[in-house]
Structure 1
Protein backbone atom coordinates (compact mmCIF):
# COMPACT_ATOMS: atom_id res chain seq x y z
CA UNK A 1 0.00 0.00 0.00
CA UNK A 2 2.94 2.36 0.62
CA UNK A 3 4.12 1.97 -2.96
CA UNK A 4 0.61 2.51 -4.30
CA UNK A 5 0.31 5.73 -2.33
CA UNK A 6 3.11 7.16 -4.49
CA UNK A 7 1.10 7.01 -7.73
CA UNK A 8 -1.14 9.76 -9.06
CA UNK A 9 -4.82 10.07 -8.23
CA UNK A 10 -5.76 9.17 -11.81
CA UNK A 11 -3.84 5.90 -11.69
CA UNK A 12 -5.25 5.13 -8.26
CA UNK A 13 -8.77 5.74 -9.55
CA UNK A 14 -8.20 3.47 -12.55
CA UNK A 15 -6.71 0.79 -10.30
CA UNK A 16 -9.76 0.98 -8.03
CA UNK A 17 -12.15 0.62 -10.98
CA UNK A 18 -10.24 -2.39 -12.28
CA UNK A 19 -10.29 -4.01 -8.84
CA UNK A 20 -14.06 -3.49 -8.66
CA UNK A 21 -14.50 -5.13 -12.05
CA UNK A 22 -12.36 -8.11 -10.99
CA UNK A 23 -14.53 -8.58 -7.90
CA UNK A 24 -17.65 -8.32 -10.08
CA UNK A 25 -16.26 -10.90 -12.52
CA UNK A 26 -15.52 -13.29 -9.68
CA UNK A 27 -19.08 -12.96 -8.37
CA UNK A 28 -20.57 -13.32 -11.85
CA UNK A 29 -18.68 -16.54 -12.51
CA UNK A 30 -19.90 -17.90 -9.18
CA UNK A 31 -23.47 -17.09 -10.22
CA UNK A 32 -22.85 -18.66 -13.63
CA UNK A 33 -21.80 -21.90 -11.97
CA UNK A 34 -25.24 -22.18 -10.36
CA UNK A 35 -27.19 -21.56 -13.57
CA UNK A 36 -28.32 -24.72 -15.38
CA UNK A 37 -30.26 -23.30 -18.31
CA UNK A 38 -28.00 -22.80 -21.35
CA UNK A 39 -29.88 -19.74 -22.57
CA UNK A 40 -29.49 -17.97 -19.24
CA UNK A 41 -25.84 -19.01 -19.16
CA UNK A 42 -25.33 -17.45 -22.60
CA UNK A 43 -26.92 -14.17 -21.48
CA UNK A 44 -24.77 -14.15 -18.37
CA UNK A 45 -21.64 -14.75 -20.47
CA UNK A 46 -22.59 -11.76 -22.62
CA UNK A 47 -22.75 -9.59 -19.52
CA UNK A 48 -19.40 -10.95 -18.34
CA UNK A 49 -17.86 -10.29 -21.77
CA UNK A 50 -19.02 -6.69 -21.64
CA UNK A 51 -17.37 -6.26 -18.23
CA UNK A 52 -14.17 -7.77 -19.65
CA UNK A 53 -14.15 -5.27 -22.47
CA UNK A 54 -14.52 -2.45 -19.97
CA UNK A 55 -11.68 -3.89 -17.91
CA UNK A 56 -9.47 -4.18 -20.98
CA UNK A 57 -10.01 -0.51 -21.81
CA UNK A 58 -9.14 0.48 -18.25
CA UNK A 59 -5.95 -1.60 -18.30
CA UNK A 60 -4.87 0.07 -21.54
CA UNK A 61 -5.66 3.44 -20.03
CA UNK A 62 -3.66 2.53 -16.92
CA UNK A 63 -0.69 1.58 -19.08
CA UNK A 64 -0.93 4.79 -21.12
CA UNK A 65 -1.15 7.06 -18.08
CA UNK A 66 1.72 5.20 -16.40
CA UNK A 67 3.92 5.85 -19.45
CA UNK A 68 2.93 9.52 -19.48
CA UNK A 69 3.92 9.85 -15.81
CA UNK A 70 7.02 7.71 -16.10
CA UNK A 71 9.37 10.69 -16.19
CA UNK A 72 7.89 12.11 -12.99
CA UNK A 73 8.00 8.85 -11.00
CA UNK A 74 10.86 7.15 -9.26
CA UNK A 75 12.34 3.95 -10.75
CA UNK A 76 10.75 1.92 -7.96
CA UNK A 77 7.34 3.43 -8.69
CA UNK A 78 7.68 2.76 -12.41
CA UNK A 79 8.73 -0.81 -11.71
CA UNK A 80 5.79 -1.24 -9.37
CA UNK A 81 3.38 0.17 -11.99
CA UNK A 82 4.79 -2.17 -14.62
CA UNK A 83 4.33 -5.16 -12.33
CA UNK A 84 0.83 -3.96 -11.49
CA UNK A 85 -0.08 -3.72 -15.18
CA UNK A 86 1.24 -7.22 -15.83
CA UNK A 87 -0.64 -8.58 -12.82
CA UNK A 88 -3.92 -7.04 -13.96
CA UNK A 89 -3.43 -8.34 -17.50
CA UNK A 90 -2.67 -11.80 -16.18
CA UNK A 91 -5.78 -11.80 -13.99
CA UNK A 92 -7.97 -10.63 -16.87
CA UNK A 93 -6.39 -13.34 -19.07
CA UNK A 94 -7.42 -15.96 -16.52
CA UNK A 95 -11.01 -14.71 -16.61
CA UNK A 96 -10.98 -14.77 -20.40
CA UNK A 97 -9.80 -18.38 -20.36
CA UNK A 98 -12.52 -19.26 -17.86
CA UNK A 99 -15.13 -17.53 -20.00
CA UNK A 100 -14.04 -19.53 -23.05
CA UNK A 101 -14.30 -22.75 -21.10
CA UNK A 102 -17.87 -21.93 -20.10
CA UNK A 103 -18.73 -20.94 -23.66
CA UNK A 104 -17.36 -24.24 -24.97
CA UNK A 105 -19.30 -26.15 -22.32
CA UNK A 106 -22.53 -24.39 -23.35
CA UNK A 107 -21.93 -25.19 -27.01
CA UNK A 108 -21.30 -28.83 -26.18
CA UNK A 109 -24.57 -28.98 -24.25
CA UNK A 110 -26.40 -27.65 -27.25
CA UNK A 111 -24.89 -30.43 -29.40
CA UNK A 112 -23.65 -28.00 -31.99
CA UNK A 113 -22.74 -29.55 -35.36
CA UNK A 114 -19.53 -27.57 -35.57
CA UNK A 115 -16.33 -28.83 -33.95
CA UNK A 116 -14.95 -25.37 -33.27
CA UNK A 117 -16.11 -24.95 -29.67
CA UNK A 118 -14.51 -28.20 -28.47
CA UNK A 119 -11.24 -27.19 -30.08
CA UNK A 120 -11.37 -23.79 -28.41
CA UNK A 121 -11.97 -25.42 -25.05
CA UNK A 122 -8.86 -27.55 -25.37
CA UNK A 123 -6.90 -24.54 -26.48
CA UNK A 124 -8.10 -22.58 -23.47
CA UNK A 125 -7.11 -25.39 -21.09
CA UNK A 126 -3.71 -25.53 -22.68
CA UNK A 127 -3.32 -21.77 -22.22
CA UNK A 128 -4.28 -22.11 -18.58
CA UNK A 129 -1.67 -24.81 -18.06
CA UNK A 130 1.08 -22.86 -19.83
CA UNK A 131 0.30 -19.50 -18.21
CA UNK A 132 2.59 -20.20 -15.26
CA UNK A 133 5.54 -20.89 -17.58
CA UNK A 134 5.16 -17.63 -19.60
CA UNK A 135 7.11 -14.48 -18.92
CA UNK A 136 5.26 -11.35 -17.85
CA UNK A 137 5.61 -9.76 -21.30
CA UNK A 138 4.32 -12.93 -22.96
CA UNK A 139 1.36 -12.93 -20.61
CA UNK A 140 0.65 -9.28 -21.45
CA UNK A 141 0.90 -9.94 -25.17
CA UNK A 142 -1.20 -13.07 -24.91
CA UNK A 143 -3.83 -11.28 -22.83
CA UNK A 144 -4.02 -8.40 -25.29
CA UNK A 145 -4.32 -10.83 -28.18
CA UNK A 146 -7.13 -12.74 -26.50
CA UNK A 147 -8.95 -9.52 -25.68
CA UNK A 148 -8.63 -8.45 -29.31
CA UNK A 149 -10.08 -11.78 -30.40
CA UNK A 150 -12.93 -11.31 -27.95
CA UNK A 151 -13.61 -7.83 -29.34
CA UNK A 152 -13.62 -9.16 -32.88
CA UNK A 153 -16.02 -11.95 -31.93
CA UNK A 154 -18.35 -9.43 -30.29
CA UNK A 155 -18.19 -7.18 -33.36
CA UNK A 156 -19.04 -10.13 -35.61
CA UNK A 157 -21.95 -11.03 -33.36
CA UNK A 158 -23.24 -7.46 -33.47
CA UNK A 159 -22.94 -7.48 -37.26
CA UNK A 160 -24.95 -10.70 -37.45
CA UNK A 161 -27.61 -9.22 -35.18
CA UNK A 162 -27.80 -6.05 -37.31
CA UNK A 163 -28.09 -8.10 -40.49
CA UNK A 164 -30.81 -10.22 -38.90
CA UNK A 165 -32.73 -7.09 -37.86
CA UNK A 166 -32.43 -5.66 -41.38
CA UNK A 167 -33.62 -8.91 -42.95
CA UNK A 168 -36.52 -9.00 -40.50
CA UNK A 169 -37.48 -5.42 -41.38
CA UNK A 170 -37.35 -6.17 -45.11
CA UNK A 171 -39.41 -9.31 -44.61
CA UNK A 172 -42.00 -7.40 -42.59
CA UNK A 173 -42.23 -4.74 -45.31
CA UNK A 174 -42.66 -7.40 -47.99
CA UNK A 175 -45.36 -9.14 -45.97
CA UNK A 176 -47.17 -5.83 -45.48
CA UNK A 177 -47.11 -5.17 -49.23
CA UNK A 178 -48.42 -8.66 -49.93
CA UNK A 179 -51.15 -8.18 -47.33
CA UNK A 180 -52.20 -4.91 -48.96
CA UNK A 181 -52.26 -6.59 -52.37
CA UNK A 182 -54.38 -9.43 -51.02
CA UNK A 183 -56.80 -6.90 -49.50
CA UNK A 184 -57.13 -5.12 -52.83
CA UNK A 185 -57.67 -8.45 -54.62
CA UNK A 186 -60.39 -9.42 -52.12
CA UNK A 187 -62.12 -6.07 -52.64
CA UNK A 188 -61.96 -6.49 -56.40
CA UNK A 189 -63.37 -10.02 -56.13
CA UNK A 190 -66.22 -8.69 -54.00
CA UNK A 191 -66.96 -6.04 -56.64
CA UNK A 192 -66.87 -8.65 -59.42
CA UNK A 193 -69.15 -10.96 -57.43
CA UNK A 194 -71.63 -8.10 -56.89
CA UNK A 195 -71.50 -7.21 -60.60
CA UNK A 196 -72.09 -10.83 -61.60
CA UNK A 197 -75.03 -11.05 -59.20
CA UNK A 198 -76.59 -7.87 -60.63
CA UNK A 199 -75.99 -9.11 -64.19
CA UNK A 200 -77.65 -12.42 -63.32
CA UNK A 201 -80.70 -10.61 -61.97
CA UNK A 202 -80.83 -8.41 -65.08
CA UNK A 203 -80.63 -11.47 -67.35
CA UNK A 204 -83.50 -13.08 -65.44
CA UNK A 205 -85.62 -9.93 -65.81
CA UNK A 206 -84.84 -9.73 -69.51
CA UNK A 207 -85.73 -13.41 -69.85
CA UNK A 208 -89.10 -12.82 -68.17
CA UNK A 209 -89.78 -9.83 -70.43
CA UNK A 210 -88.85 -11.85 -73.51
CA UNK A 211 -91.15 -14.67 -72.42
CA UNK A 212 -93.99 -12.20 -71.91
CA UNK A 213 -93.36 -10.63 -75.32
CA UNK A 214 -93.37 -14.07 -76.93
CA UNK A 215 -96.72 -14.89 -75.35
CA UNK A 216 -98.18 -11.63 -76.62
CA UNK A 217 -96.76 -12.25 -80.09
CA UNK A 218 -98.16 -15.77 -80.11
CA UNK A 219 -101.58 -14.49 -79.09
CA UNK A 220 -101.49 -11.83 -81.81
CA UNK A 221 -100.37 -14.44 -84.29
CA UNK A 222 -103.34 -16.59 -83.38
CA UNK A 223 -105.65 -13.62 -83.81
CA UNK A 224 -104.19 -12.86 -87.23
CA UNK A 225 -104.54 -16.53 -88.25
CA UNK A 226 -108.16 -16.46 -87.12
CA UNK A 227 -108.91 -13.31 -89.07
CA UNK A 228 -107.26 -14.74 -92.16
CA UNK A 229 -109.26 -17.94 -91.79
CA UNK A 230 -112.53 -15.99 -91.56
CA UNK A 231 -111.59 -13.93 -94.60
CA UNK A 232 -110.86 -17.05 -96.60
CA UNK A 233 -114.13 -18.65 -95.58
CA UNK A 234 -116.13 -15.55 -96.49
CA UNK A 235 -114.45 -15.40 -99.84
CA UNK A 236 -115.12 -19.06 -100.55
CA UNK A 237 -118.68 -19.11 -99.18
CA UNK A 238 -120.01 -15.58 -98.95
CA UNK A 239 -123.56 -16.77 -98.14
CA UNK A 240 -122.52 -18.65 -95.02
CA UNK A 241 -124.74 -17.25 -92.32
CA UNK A 242 -122.74 -18.85 -89.52
CA UNK A 243 -119.98 -16.31 -90.02
CA UNK A 244 -120.71 -12.74 -89.29
CA UNK A 245 -119.94 -10.20 -91.90
CA UNK A 246 -116.61 -8.57 -91.78
CA UNK A 247 -116.70 -4.94 -92.80
CA UNK A 248 -115.67 -4.61 -96.42
CA UNK A 249 -115.99 -8.36 -97.13
CA UNK A 250 -119.74 -8.98 -96.95
CA UNK A 251 -121.92 -9.34 -100.09
CA UNK A 252 -122.99 -6.11 -101.69
CA UNK A 253 -126.12 -4.61 -100.27
CA UNK A 254 -129.28 -4.78 -102.37
CA UNK A 255 -130.12 -1.76 -104.36
CA UNK A 256 -132.36 0.46 -102.40
CA UNK A 257 -135.38 1.90 -104.12
CA UNK A 258 -136.15 5.47 -103.55
CA UNK A 259 -139.71 6.68 -102.95
CA UNK A 260 -139.87 8.52 -106.20
CA UNK A 261 -138.92 5.30 -107.98
CA UNK A 262 -142.15 3.68 -106.72
CA UNK A 263 -144.34 6.19 -108.27
Structure 2
Protein backbone atom coordinates (compact mmCIF):
# COMPACT_ATOMS: atom_id res chain seq x y z
CA UNK A 1 0.00 0.00 0.00
CA UNK A 2 1.20 3.49 -0.86
CA UNK A 3 2.37 5.28 2.31
CA UNK A 4 0.62 8.47 1.23
CA UNK A 5 -2.66 6.55 0.82
CA UNK A 6 -2.25 5.38 4.40
CA UNK A 7 -1.96 8.99 5.55
CA UNK A 8 -4.74 10.58 3.48
CA UNK A 9 -6.87 9.48 0.55
CA UNK A 10 -7.10 13.08 -0.65
CA UNK A 11 -3.31 13.40 -0.71
CA UNK A 12 -3.07 10.16 -2.67
CA UNK A 13 -5.60 11.43 -5.21
CA UNK A 14 -3.71 14.71 -5.65
CA UNK A 15 -0.44 12.84 -6.02
CA UNK A 16 -2.00 10.61 -8.68
CA UNK A 17 -3.14 13.65 -10.69
CA UNK A 18 0.31 15.19 -10.40
CA UNK A 19 1.98 11.98 -11.56
CA UNK A 20 -0.37 11.85 -14.55
CA UNK A 21 0.59 15.38 -15.48
CA UNK A 22 4.30 14.56 -15.10
CA UNK A 23 3.92 11.63 -17.49
CA UNK A 24 2.03 13.83 -19.96
CA UNK A 25 4.79 16.45 -19.71
CA UNK A 26 7.51 13.85 -20.28
CA UNK A 27 5.74 12.47 -23.35
CA UNK A 28 4.96 15.98 -24.60
CA UNK A 29 8.61 17.11 -24.48
CA UNK A 30 9.70 13.92 -26.25
CA UNK A 31 7.14 14.68 -28.95
CA UNK A 32 8.31 18.30 -29.07
CA UNK A 33 11.86 17.15 -29.80
CA UNK A 34 10.68 15.33 -32.92
CA UNK A 35 8.62 18.20 -34.34
CA UNK A 36 10.53 20.26 -36.94
CA UNK A 37 8.01 22.97 -37.78
CA UNK A 38 8.41 26.02 -35.54
CA UNK A 39 4.70 26.86 -35.47
CA UNK A 40 3.72 23.34 -34.42
CA UNK A 41 6.44 23.40 -31.79
CA UNK A 42 5.03 26.66 -30.45
CA UNK A 43 1.53 25.20 -30.17
CA UNK A 44 2.85 22.05 -28.48
CA UNK A 45 4.87 24.16 -26.03
CA UNK A 46 1.75 26.16 -25.17
CA UNK A 47 -0.13 22.95 -24.31
CA UNK A 48 2.76 21.82 -22.12
CA UNK A 49 2.75 25.22 -20.40
CA UNK A 50 -0.93 24.77 -19.54
CA UNK A 51 -0.19 21.35 -18.07
CA UNK A 52 2.65 22.79 -15.97
CA UNK A 53 0.30 25.47 -14.69
CA UNK A 54 -2.21 22.79 -13.62
CA UNK A 55 0.59 20.81 -12.02
CA UNK A 56 1.74 23.83 -10.04
CA UNK A 57 -1.79 24.38 -8.76
CA UNK A 58 -2.04 20.72 -7.65
CA UNK A 59 1.32 20.94 -5.86
CA UNK A 60 0.01 23.94 -3.94
CA UNK A 61 -3.06 21.92 -2.98
CA UNK A 62 -0.79 19.05 -1.92
CA UNK A 63 1.31 21.42 0.23
CA UNK A 64 -1.80 22.92 1.86
CA UNK A 65 -3.10 19.45 2.69
CA UNK A 66 0.27 18.41 4.16
CA UNK A 67 0.36 21.50 6.39
CA UNK A 68 -3.17 20.80 7.57
CA UNK A 69 -2.15 17.22 8.53
CA UNK A 70 1.03 18.20 10.38
CA UNK A 71 -0.95 18.99 13.53
CA UNK A 72 -3.18 15.94 13.21
CA UNK A 73 -1.01 13.53 15.19
CA UNK A 74 1.32 12.33 12.43
CA UNK A 75 4.75 11.26 13.55
CA UNK A 76 7.94 13.03 12.48
CA UNK A 77 8.85 10.37 9.90
CA UNK A 78 5.47 10.74 8.15
CA UNK A 79 5.79 14.51 8.04
CA UNK A 80 9.34 14.24 6.70
CA UNK A 81 8.18 11.78 4.04
CA UNK A 82 5.37 14.10 2.93
CA UNK A 83 7.72 17.11 2.80
CA UNK A 84 10.28 15.12 0.81
CA UNK A 85 7.59 14.06 -1.61
CA UNK A 86 6.45 17.67 -2.03
CA UNK A 87 10.02 18.85 -2.64
CA UNK A 88 10.50 16.06 -5.17
CA UNK A 89 7.39 17.21 -7.03
CA UNK A 90 8.60 20.83 -7.01
CA UNK A 91 12.03 19.76 -8.26
CA UNK A 92 10.56 17.73 -11.11
CA UNK A 93 8.23 20.57 -12.08
CA UNK A 94 11.17 22.99 -12.10
CA UNK A 95 13.05 20.67 -14.47
CA UNK A 96 10.11 20.83 -16.91
CA UNK A 97 9.99 24.62 -16.53
CA UNK A 98 13.69 24.79 -17.46
CA UNK A 99 12.99 22.60 -20.51
CA UNK A 100 10.13 24.89 -21.46
CA UNK A 101 12.41 27.95 -21.31
CA UNK A 102 15.05 26.20 -23.38
CA UNK A 103 12.62 25.17 -26.11
CA UNK A 104 10.97 28.61 -26.07
CA UNK A 105 14.33 30.21 -26.84
CA UNK A 106 15.11 27.65 -29.53
CA UNK A 107 11.73 28.12 -31.18
CA UNK A 108 12.17 31.87 -31.10
CA UNK A 109 15.62 31.60 -32.69
CA UNK A 110 14.24 29.28 -35.31
CA UNK A 111 11.39 31.64 -36.19
CA UNK A 112 13.72 34.66 -36.32
CA UNK A 113 16.26 32.80 -38.43
CA UNK A 114 13.59 31.59 -40.85
CA UNK A 115 12.11 35.08 -41.10
CA UNK A 116 15.54 36.56 -41.70
CA UNK A 117 16.25 34.11 -44.50
CA UNK A 118 12.82 34.71 -45.98
CA UNK A 119 13.31 38.49 -45.93
CA UNK A 120 16.73 38.15 -47.56
CA UNK A 121 15.24 35.98 -50.29
CA UNK A 122 12.46 38.50 -50.83
CA UNK A 123 15.02 41.24 -51.43
CA UNK A 124 16.91 39.03 -53.88
CA UNK A 125 13.79 37.76 -55.60
CA UNK A 126 12.58 41.22 -56.47
CA UNK A 127 14.77 40.70 -59.53
CA UNK A 128 14.73 36.90 -59.76
CA UNK A 129 11.02 36.17 -59.54
CA UNK A 130 8.94 34.26 -56.92
CA UNK A 131 10.77 32.81 -53.93
CA UNK A 132 8.31 30.22 -52.55
CA UNK A 133 10.67 27.31 -53.15
CA UNK A 134 13.58 29.15 -51.58
CA UNK A 135 11.49 30.09 -48.55
CA UNK A 136 10.44 26.47 -48.01
CA UNK A 137 14.06 25.38 -48.31
CA UNK A 138 15.11 27.98 -45.75
CA UNK A 139 12.41 26.85 -43.31
CA UNK A 140 13.50 23.25 -43.72
CA UNK A 141 17.12 24.32 -43.27
CA UNK A 142 16.27 26.07 -40.00
CA UNK A 143 14.21 23.08 -38.84
CA UNK A 144 17.01 20.64 -39.56
CA UNK A 145 19.60 22.60 -37.61
CA UNK A 146 20.60 21.25 -34.22
CA UNK A 147 19.78 23.09 -31.03
CA UNK A 148 23.40 24.15 -30.57
CA UNK A 149 23.58 25.46 -34.13
CA UNK A 150 20.38 27.39 -33.57
CA UNK A 151 21.80 28.78 -30.32
CA UNK A 152 25.02 29.83 -32.07
CA UNK A 153 23.10 31.35 -34.94
CA UNK A 154 20.81 33.15 -32.53
CA UNK A 155 23.75 34.54 -30.58
CA UNK A 156 25.34 35.72 -33.82
CA UNK A 157 22.12 37.43 -34.85
CA UNK A 158 21.86 39.06 -31.44
CA UNK A 159 25.44 40.36 -31.77
CA UNK A 160 24.61 41.77 -35.20
CA UNK A 161 21.50 43.37 -33.76
CA UNK A 162 23.50 44.92 -30.90
CA UNK A 163 26.01 46.33 -33.38
CA UNK A 164 23.18 47.72 -35.50
CA UNK A 165 21.67 49.32 -32.39
CA UNK A 166 25.02 50.90 -31.51
CA UNK A 167 25.34 52.26 -35.04
CA UNK A 168 21.81 53.57 -34.79
CA UNK A 169 22.67 55.30 -31.49
CA UNK A 170 25.70 56.97 -33.09
CA UNK A 171 23.58 58.14 -36.02
CA UNK A 172 20.94 59.48 -33.64
CA UNK A 173 23.61 61.32 -31.61
CA UNK A 174 25.12 62.80 -34.77
CA UNK A 175 21.66 63.84 -35.90
CA UNK A 176 21.05 65.51 -32.52
CA UNK A 177 24.37 67.36 -32.81
CA UNK A 178 23.55 68.52 -36.34
CA UNK A 179 20.12 69.60 -35.16
CA UNK A 180 21.67 71.56 -32.28
CA UNK A 181 24.10 73.32 -34.62
CA UNK A 182 21.30 74.04 -37.08
CA UNK A 183 19.13 75.43 -34.29
CA UNK A 184 21.94 77.73 -33.14
CA UNK A 185 22.54 78.90 -36.72
CA UNK A 186 18.82 79.54 -37.22
CA UNK A 187 18.68 81.49 -33.96
CA UNK A 188 21.62 83.64 -35.06
CA UNK A 189 19.97 84.23 -38.44
CA UNK A 190 16.68 85.06 -36.71
CA UNK A 191 18.43 87.66 -34.53
CA UNK A 192 20.15 89.08 -37.58
CA UNK A 193 16.84 89.27 -39.45
CA UNK A 194 15.29 91.04 -36.46
CA UNK A 195 18.08 93.62 -36.52
CA UNK A 196 17.62 94.06 -40.27
CA UNK A 197 13.89 94.59 -39.80
CA UNK A 198 14.54 97.18 -37.10
CA UNK A 199 17.02 98.96 -39.37
CA UNK A 200 14.49 98.89 -42.23
CA UNK A 201 11.88 100.40 -39.93
CA UNK A 202 14.34 103.17 -39.01
CA UNK A 203 15.15 103.77 -42.68
CA UNK A 204 11.45 103.88 -43.55
CA UNK A 205 10.80 106.42 -40.78
CA UNK A 206 13.77 108.51 -41.96
CA UNK A 207 12.49 108.39 -45.53
CA UNK A 208 9.07 109.60 -44.39
CA UNK A 209 10.65 112.50 -42.53
CA UNK A 210 12.87 113.30 -45.52
CA UNK A 211 9.86 113.20 -47.85
CA UNK A 212 7.94 115.58 -45.64
CA UNK A 213 10.94 117.90 -45.41
CA UNK A 214 11.37 117.84 -49.21
CA UNK A 215 7.72 118.76 -49.64
CA UNK A 216 8.10 121.69 -47.26
CA UNK A 217 11.27 122.83 -49.05
CA UNK A 218 9.44 122.49 -52.38
CA UNK A 219 6.62 124.70 -51.12
CA UNK A 220 9.11 127.28 -49.84
CA UNK A 221 11.00 127.21 -53.14
CA UNK A 222 7.77 127.69 -55.06
CA UNK A 223 6.82 130.65 -52.87
CA UNK A 224 10.29 132.16 -53.30
CA UNK A 225 10.05 131.69 -57.07
CA UNK A 226 6.71 133.49 -57.16
CA UNK A 227 8.14 136.38 -55.14
CA UNK A 228 11.22 136.53 -57.34
CA UNK A 229 9.07 136.49 -60.48
CA UNK A 230 6.90 139.30 -59.11
CA UNK A 231 9.98 141.32 -58.23
CA UNK A 232 11.43 140.67 -61.68
CA UNK A 233 8.21 141.97 -63.25
CA UNK A 234 8.35 145.08 -61.13
CA UNK A 235 11.99 145.70 -61.99
CA UNK A 236 11.29 145.14 -65.69
CA UNK A 237 8.36 147.49 -65.52
CA UNK A 238 10.38 150.19 -63.83
CA UNK A 239 13.21 149.77 -66.33
CA UNK A 240 10.74 149.97 -69.18
CA UNK A 241 9.24 153.17 -67.84
CA UNK A 242 12.66 154.70 -67.39
CA UNK A 243 13.63 153.77 -70.90
CA UNK A 244 10.38 155.23 -72.32
CA UNK A 245 10.82 158.37 -70.28
CA UNK A 246 14.36 158.83 -71.55
CA UNK A 247 13.37 158.21 -75.13
CA UNK A 248 10.22 160.33 -75.06
CA UNK A 249 10.39 162.79 -72.24
CA UNK A 250 7.29 164.76 -73.47
CA UNK A 251 4.99 161.79 -73.08
CA UNK A 252 2.17 163.02 -70.87
CA UNK A 253 1.03 159.52 -69.99
CA UNK A 254 3.98 158.93 -67.75
CA UNK A 255 4.67 162.42 -66.35
CA UNK A 256 2.60 161.90 -63.26
CA UNK A 257 4.00 158.55 -62.42
CA UNK A 258 5.05 158.57 -58.80
CA UNK A 259 8.80 158.72 -58.35
CA UNK A 260 9.44 160.57 -61.61
CA UNK A 261 10.02 164.30 -61.40
CA UNK A 262 8.55 166.66 -64.04
CA UNK A 263 10.87 168.21 -66.58
CA UNK A 264 12.97 171.09 -65.34
CA UNK A 265 11.64 173.48 -68.00
CA UNK A 266 8.09 173.22 -66.73
CA UNK A 267 8.98 174.00 -63.15
CA UNK A 268 8.10 177.40 -61.89
CA UNK A 269 9.20 179.08 -58.74
CA UNK A 270 6.68 180.38 -56.29
CA UNK A 271 7.87 183.97 -56.47
CA UNK A 272 7.58 183.97 -60.24
CA UNK A 273 3.91 183.25 -59.83
CA UNK A 274 3.47 186.20 -57.70
Query: TM-score normalised to the size of structure 2?
Result: 0.46
Bigger Cα Rg: 2
